[in-house]
Amino acid sequence: MSIIVTDTGFATDDFPGVVRPLAEIAEVQEGDGVEIGPADDPRVLVGVLGQVALIRVRFPAFNDGRGFSHARDLRSFGFTGRLRAVGHVLADQYAMARRVGFDEVEIDEALAARQPEAQWLARADWRENWYQARLRA
């Protein structure tokens, strides 16, 4: 089972809705989730962002940083629902994920075993020492 990481630590997935691949965007209903990958263009979601309750942004590899820009873009399009980074995200990247607009990170059990809760909680202080927030204000 996958683990959802937030500022308060590990939890199980409580999202009740259906999560659709981007190809099924035409079928999106109020309260659904949508999943995008690094190569997808989040601009195609602009028309349905008001209905979508969750967007899962996949990170197939931790060193592919496109998902960070996707998060920032989705927020700039006005998305206010749950935004989740999913896959190979490191505890060391937790602060980055939160700062670009993700609410939470979803990891698998193997990664959670290797990087236990304490290592993620160590970066729950992501609002501290944040140059860009100071400059944008």
CB distance 86 to 59 below 8 Å: yes
Question: Of residues 1-40, which lie at the interface with other proteins (CB under 8 A)?
Answer: none
The piece of 2-10, 22-30, 49-57, 122-130 that touches other proteins (CB under 8 A) is: 122-130
- Residue 44 in contact with other proteins, rule: CB under 8 A: no
The CB-of-29 to other proteins minimum distance in angstroms stands at 28
Q: Does 137 bind other proteins (CB under 8 A)?
A: yes
How far apart are the C-alpha atoms of 113 and 111, rounded to whole Å?
5
Helix (H), strand (E) at residue 118: helix 117-121
In the 3-class helix/strand/coil scheme, how is 63-113 assigned residue by residue? CCCHHHHHHHHHHHCCCCCEEEEEECCCHHHHHHHHHHCCCEEEECHHHHH
In terms of CB distance, is 14 or 131 closer to other proteins? 131
CA 8 distance to own-chain centroid: 16
Q: Closer to other proteins by CB, 32 or 37: give it.
A: 37
At 123, phi and psi to the nearest 5? -110, 15
82 binds other proteins (CB under 8 A): no
Of the candidates 96, 105, 107, 112, which one interacts with other proteins according to CB under 8 A? Answer: 96
CB of residue 52 vs other proteins: minimum separation in angstroms?
19
| CB 9, CB 94: distance < 8 Å | no
> Is 99 an interacting residue with respect to other proteins (CB under 8 A)?
yes
Q: Which residues contribute to the site for other proteins (CB under 8 A)?
A: 62-66, 68-70, 72-73, 76, 90, 92-93, 95-97, 99-100, 114-116, 119, 122, 128-132, 134-137
